[in-house]
């Protein structure tokens, strides 16, 4: 301890990419050290998979059979759960003081958000692989190219959703109940309106309208097409537009919240 230098070598000036990478690495580390945490947010979707898929067997209008229709929905769902809850990590760090500690560093505020949001991609991919691994033995038909493109779209969506979740944590100013009330209030309507668990084709008109206003609907439709190996132009494009919209909105709102944070 006697050889400590007073001025450590500062190699890099603060820049957005480097700062983002630092935050990303820090956020990812506990996931890598404790991979079970990723599986945890999947318990609910897997239960839905086990209970709903058999129910859907006789529902008409499900192209390619119940499992083929249901699995993309479940993949989206597990990401939806994970990304929408991710703000709770920040919430906890706001309560313990470790978020404040990052705010006194020279790192860019936007990097504090982006690094965290980009990390959401990792659980998205891991969860998708797990779901697929579970269903393939049950005669699920895997279309690799479409699935890869689908997961890319889902990653974009989840970066946005994760950012919104972080923005919510910042807006809640450390109050758990605000965070969870808002998160739950939004999560289930958005999930159901997207036709993730049940098709909304035969729903009443107002519900179909609500469904059409939900960006997630387009993502889910596009995922279904892609998982089935179909690159139907307008469906896939609509999905990417919706995912990009949520991503841009999330980064904008989240970045603003982080800059305003004190």
Partner 1 sequence: MTAQTTQHMIETHGLTKAFTARKRTVEAVRGLDLTVAPGELVALLGPNGAGKSTTLRMLTTLIAPTSGTARVAGYDVATQPQQVRRAIGYIGQGNGAGHNQRGRDELVSHGLAYGMSKASARSRADELVDSLDLTQVADRKVSSLSGGQRRRLDIAMGLIHAPALLFLDEPSTGLDPQNRANLQEHVVALRERYGTTVVLTTHYLDEADSLAERVVVIDHGRLVADDTPARLKADHAGDRITLAFDEVVDAANAAARIVRGHGDAEVEHAEREVVVRVASGARLAPAMLVDLQDAGLPARSVEVARPTLDDVFLNLTGRSLREGHTADQPATDQLDPIGVSA
Interaction site with partner 1 (CB under 8 A): 1, 3-14, 19, 22, 25-26, 29-30, 33-34, 89, 92-93, 95-98, 100-107, 262
Find tokens 């945490």 and name the residue: 37
CB of 22 to partner 1, least distance (A): 5
Q: Which two tokens stand for residue 74?
A: 């479940």
Structure tokens that stand for 149 in this block: 């493109």
CA distance 59 to 4: 70
- Closest CB 5 distance from partner 1, rounded Å: 7
**Minimum distance from CB of 237 to partner 1 (Å)?**
39
**Closest approach of partner 1 to the CB of residue 10, in Å:** 4
* Residue 5 or 234 having the CB closest to partner 1: 5
The residue (of 63 and 98) whose beta carbon lies closer to partner 1 is 98
For 175, 233, 255, the CA distances from 167, given in Å and listed in that order, are 13, 33, 8
Who's near 205: CB < 8 A, 6+ residues apart?
none
Nearer to partner 1 by Cβ, of 10 and 213: the residue is 10
Q: Which residues contact 131 (CB under 8 A, 6 or more apart)?
A: 42, 45, 46, 49, 71, 74, 75, 78
User: Min. distance of Cβ 110 from partner 1 in angstroms?
Assistant: 13
Nearer to partner 1, 12 or 213 (CB): 12
Q: Which is nearer to partner 1, 14 or 209 (by Cβ)?
A: 14
Q: Up-side HSE of residue 146: CA atoms within 13 Å toward CB?
A: 19
Considering all CA atoms of the chain, what is the largest pairwise distance in Å, rounded to the nearest integer?
76
**b/e map of 137-163 (b: 16 or more CB within 10 Å)?**
eeebeebeebbebbbbbbbbbbbbbbb
Instruction: Provide, rounded to whole angstroms, the least separation between the CB of residue 131 and partner 1.
Output: 25
Which residue, 23 or 77, has its beta carbon nearer to partner 1? Answer: 23
């Amino acid at each position: 301890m006697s050889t400590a230098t007073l001025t450590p070598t500062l190699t890099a000036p603060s820049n957005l990419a480097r700062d983002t990478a630092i935050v990303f690495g820090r956020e990812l580390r506990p996931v890598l050290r404790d991979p079970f945490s990723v599986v945890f947010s999947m318990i609910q979707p897997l239960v839905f998979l086990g209970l709903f898929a058999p129910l859907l067997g006789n529902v008409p209008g499900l192209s390619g059979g119940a499992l083929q229709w249901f699995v993309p929905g479940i993949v989206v769902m597990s990401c939806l759960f994970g990304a929408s809850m991710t703000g709770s990590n920040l919430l906890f760090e706001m309560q313990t003081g470790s978020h404040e500690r990052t705010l006194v560093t020279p790192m860019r505020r936007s990097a504090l958000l982006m690094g965290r949001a980009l990390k959401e991609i990792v659980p998205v991919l891991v969860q998708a692989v797990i779901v697929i691994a579970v269903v393939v033995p049950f005669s699920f038909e895997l279309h690799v190219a479409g699935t890869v493109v689908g997961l890319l779209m889902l990653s974009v969506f989840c970066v946005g959703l994760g950012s919104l979740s972080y923005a919510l944590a910042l807006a809640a100013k450390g109050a758990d109940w605000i965070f969870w009330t808002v998160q739950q209030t939004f999560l289930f309507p958005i999930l159901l309106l997207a036709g993730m668990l049940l098709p909304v084709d035969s729903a009443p008109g107002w519900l179909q309208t609500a469904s059409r206003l939900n960006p997630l609907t387009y993502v889910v439709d596009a995922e279904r097409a892609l998982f089935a190996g179909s690159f139907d132009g307008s469906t896939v494009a609509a999905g990417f537009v919706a995912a990009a919209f949520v991503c841009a909105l999330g980064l904008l709102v989240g970045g603003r919240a982080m800059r305003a944070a004190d």
